[in-house]
């Protein structure tokens, strides 16, 4: 679910003349924002995990290449 923050800011204004309706609407909006937050955190965590895997793979490749270079006598 993609949430447009600018659109949601408009919902922050509460109409005092219809507080009952506003209470119902605000709780629904709060729920939707909470759900979107959970999805965003899940996505962030998954991407963070992917990044960790990529970093580990690159680290391994770099170490392997350095080891081969050292073994062949072409060190620093």
pLDDT digits (tens, 9 = 90+) for 31-72: 888 898 999 999 999 999 999 999 999 999 999 999 998 888
68's enclosing H/E stretch is helix 19-71
Q: Three-state DSSP class for 14?
A: coil
At 1, the pLDDT band (50, 70, 90 cuts) reads low
- Write the pLDDT tens digit of every residue in 5-33: 787 788 788 888 999 998 888 888 888 88
pLDDT score of 51: 98
The pTM of the full predicted model, rounded to 2 decimals, is 0.64
SS (H, E, C) 5-38: HHHHHHCCCCCHHHHHHHHHHHHHHHHHHHHHHH
Q: Radius of gyration (Cα) for the chain, nearest Å? A: 25
């Amino acid at each position: 679910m993609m949430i447009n923050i600018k659109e949601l800011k408009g919902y922050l204004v509460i109409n005092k003349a219809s507080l009952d309706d506003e209470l119902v609407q605000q709780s629904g909006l709060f729920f939707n924002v909470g759900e979107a937050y959970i999805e965003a955190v899940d996505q962030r965590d998954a991407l963070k995990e992917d990044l960790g895997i990529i970093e580990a793979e690159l680290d391994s490749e770099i170490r392997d290449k350095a080891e081969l270079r050292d073994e062949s006598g072409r060190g620093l």
